[in-house]
Chain A
Amino acid sequence: MTVVTEAKPTSAKSASDEIAVEIINMNKWYGTFHVLRDIDLTVRRGERIVIAGPSGSGKSTMIRCINRLEEHQSGKIIVDGTELTSDLKNIDKIRSEVGMCFQHFNLFPHLTILENCTLAPMHVRGIPKKEAEATAMHFLEKVKIPDQALKYPGMLSGGQQQRVAIARSLCMRPRIMLFDEPTSALDPEMIKEVLDTMVELAEEGMTMLCVTHEMGFARQVADRVIFMDQGQIVEQNEPEEFFNNPRSERTKLFLSQILGH
């Protein structure tokens, strides 16, 4: 595993020595198919990590293991000092600390935007309705759609829905955010508005793990880019080095395909 010694100037002040997520020798199988092989990854608090790789390489599966949407079969995952086991209490605790945004937003279509944002704080954290609504409006303003609060998700554009999904996660005041291809289902016009929101979040020092194909985003905000193929971490490095001087042949091939046009 490559240890990053020279961090970018922006990360030097934000990333601390405190460890947010630690994955040690983790393996996962779907039936007999070995999806994740010997994954080792340490994420420090405040670090922004972009995970890239061809489809089917296990990037999504890996970050979904971090909040136990997928179960790993061997190895350890430690989030915020708590190890993920089949103990339901730990799982719920970790899930309420880790926010997640999905490729298809997964907003709740039967609830208004505001109700989407207040639901978990009220029922998981037990925050009173008034306070939860105030927090929700704060984050909806942050993602620049407070005027849509009383509409239903189905009436919003894809980009707006994804920004609501980000706000919904932030309402739980998570310490870590996971993004699972947040812009892959969006029209090109809407990708920018979502990326802008994510950049703003990164600048505030949120610990982020993003699976994305947006290499411009990776260059701009990532402290580290991780390249995965066939269920393994092939290469990880800071973005400048990663893009300008890739080490492995597989990475070179991938970059030539993704940046080549």
Chain B
Amino acid sequence: MSNLDAETVQFVRETMIPPSAPPGRETGAVKWMRENLFSSWFNVIMTLLAIWFIWHFFVPMIPWFVNGVWNADSLRECREILDGRTGGCFAVLSERWKQLLFGFYPQTEYWRPILMFIWLAVAAAPIMFDNLPRKLLIATAIYPFAMVWLIWGGSIWGVLSVAAGFGLGYVAFKFADRKLEGLIPLLVGLAVAVVWWLFLRGPVAGGLQSILPFGLPSVGSRELGGFLICLIIGVSGIALSLPIGIILALGRISNLPLVKMICVGFIEFIRGVPLITLLFVASLLLNYFLPPKVTFDLVLRVIVMVTLFSSAYLAEVIRGGLAALPKGQYEAADALGLSYWQAQRLIIMPQALKISIPGIVNSFIGLFMDTSLVMFIGIFDMLGLAKAIRANTAWIGIYWELYIFIGLVFWVCCFGMSQYSQWLERKLRTDHH
């Protein structure tokens, strides 16, 4: 071995090579098509089949949309205008879209549901996006009461007195919390609120109304319908079923046998019964079981049933998220001295819910679409209205236009939820940025 060789073998790097950019790839449409559409014989055949399918089934639909008639009073008039050409009769939508959105809500009061829609967006915003000012949460807190008052109308004291029950319960809880321990303050708060609602609320609200009468014209539940009722039931169900689902999931994995038994029993019962059965119970049977003269509003009964139904499914989804958390997280929280509820609130739930986002949103989308089942208990949601419109002599025989519109409305809502959940998942990723 020569000296030269020896020198080359002993090697010490003096400068580190900086990282370089990856080799530039060929780009362009042709390259993309070659790689993705025509990369093998099988792909070529599949591509051609797909093109044929699109040509055969979707292209013929184009004139139906393009030639569509938007101004006419009946299906017959539509056909006269079209004069034998292919085309949709979208006039039914331009004539009836208000009904599809608001049901039989009085026309003069349309501003109320519209204000409710806008307020809903404002109320949901600070919950969905944490970079918005926290003061917006006030709008969120008022929203449930404002929504009820705007939609159903009546004396404002009715809604305010119900809200006062929450306030009184909270004050009682805070007061009891200073002197008592454990669950007792919570029970005291609850008891005060219930006593207020059952015995004092009615007379107080009545008294205030006679002194300071202020209210909106009443609108009955039977007059609600269309997209409005779908949104009321859907949003209430979503907002109420998440906390109940969390409690049920925690109950199901609890060490306390009685709590566990109740939660398992509830979840298994609800999951074993179709929603439509529960809705029939809400609309027909509940009146038999309740004492005479005690009546709940039909929409309220439906909201309760939809919430219970959805919360049982959510509980199972969240239980899956809880099971996916490493045991070390519980141990670290314990070792730091956090109490059970602190650990749940600060450590366990934020992570378990994050893991369960896809499943939770899946349940929410399901719940939102299931609201159309209320058609079967005599509430005119969009599908119910479509049926009614088609029974009208002017629009007999119309079919696609209505259902495509309804499908589109549902799709926009559900696709929005799905997109939000994906954005949220990306935002909550903390492993690497």
| Residues of chain A whose beta carbon lies under 8 Å from any beta carbon of chain B | 67-69, 92-93, 95-96, 98-100, 102, 104, 106-110, 119-120, 123-124, 152-155, 168-169, 172
Contacts and interface: CB of A to CB of B under 8 A. Distances in A.
A134 to B, nearest CB: 19
A236 B179 CA distance: 49
Contacts of A110: 350-351, 354, 428, 430
A108 B337 contact: no
B347 interface: yes
B18 interface: no
A92 B331 contact: no
B43 to A, nearest CB: 38
Given A109-B351, A119-B346, A155-B432, A172 B332 contact: no
Interface string B308-350: 0000000000000000001011011011111100100011001
A108 B428 contact: no
Contacts of A96: 336-337
Given A108-B347, A110-B430, A155-B431, A123 B338 contact: yes
A172 B337 contact: yes
A92 B339 CA distance: 7
Given A110-B351, A152-B430, A120 B337 contact: yes
B13 interface: no
B338 A106 contact: no
A143 to B, nearest CB: 17
B433 interface: yes
Contacts of B336: 95-96, 119-120, 124, 168-169, 172
Interface residues of B, number: 22
B25 to A, nearest CB: 29
A100 B335 contact: yes
B114 to A, nearest CB: 39
Given A119-B346, A155-B431, A104 B328 contact: yes
B335 A155 contact: no
B337 A124 contact: yes
A98 B335 CA distance: 8
Contacts, number: 69
B433 A155 contact: yes
Nearest to B342: A123
A106 B432 contact: no
Nearest to A103: B328
Query: Among the interface residues B336, B338, B350, which one has the most CB atoms of the partner chain A within 10 A?
Result: B336
B328 A106 contact: yes
A154 B338 contact: no
Given A119-B336, A123-B346, A152 B431 contact: yes
Contacts of A124: 336-338, 342
Given A110-B351, A123-B346, A155-B432, A69 B334 contact: yes
Given A99-B335, A109-B351, 20 more contacts: A67-B334, A67-B335, A69-B331, A98-B335, A102-B328, A102-B332, A104-B326, A108-B332, A108-B347, A109-B431, A110-B350, A110-B351, A110-B354, A110-B428, A119-B336, A119-B338, A123-B346, A124-B337, A154-B430, A169-B335
A95 B335 contact: yes
A155 B433 CA distance: 8
5 tightest A-B contacts by CB? A96-B337, A106-B332, A154-B431, A106-B328, A120-B336
Contacts of B339: 92
Contact of A106 (B329, B350, B428, B433): B329
B348 to A, nearest CB: 10
A128 B347 CA distance: 19
Contacts of B346: 119, 123
B183 to A, nearest CB: 13
Nearest to B335: A100
Query: Among the interface residues B354, B428, B430, which one has the most CB atoms of the partner chain A within 10 A?
Result: B430
Contacts of B326: 104, 106
Contacts of B351: 108-110
A251 to B, nearest CB: 30
Contacts of A99: 335
A17 B329 CA distance: 36
A152 B431 CA distance: 7
Contacts of A172: 336-337
A153 B347 CA distance: 14
Contacts of A107: 332
Contacts of B433: 155
A36 B219 CA distance: 71
